[in-house]
Amino acid sequence: MVKHFGSKNAGKLKQRLMELGAADTLADISHLPPKRCHELTGKDAGIFSVDVEQPYRLLFIPADDTVPLLPDGGIDREQVTEIEIIEIKDTH
């Protein structure tokens, strides 16, 4: 991580991974760090993003066998218990 992202980003990335690992469900993330946990929109709907260190974001998707949905079709964050990290990148 240090080689690719630098020491500051690597440290923040490690912190974010620990925070995500400590959450019981995805709903817990909205009340705790990491900052700016949100679902992307448009063609990237279903992908979530959290800040690492500007300009990088950690992108992940729900990895439950069946992604739990709300009646309106949105992802039920209170039922998501597993995630899959898909990428770390500058999304802007």
pLDDT tens column, 15-52: 889 988 999 999 888 666 666 788 999 999 999 999 88
The domain spans of the chain are 2-90
C-beta of residue 83 within 8 angstroms of C-beta of residue 60? yes
CATH number, span 2-90: 3.30.2310
Per-residue pLDDT of 59-69, as tens digits, reads: 999 999 999 99
Q: What's residue 37's pLDDT?
A: 86
Distances (CA, A) of 52 to 1, 19, 37, 75, 89: 12, 12, 11, 23, 9
Q: What's residue 61's pLDDT?
A: 96
CA distance 51 to 90: 10
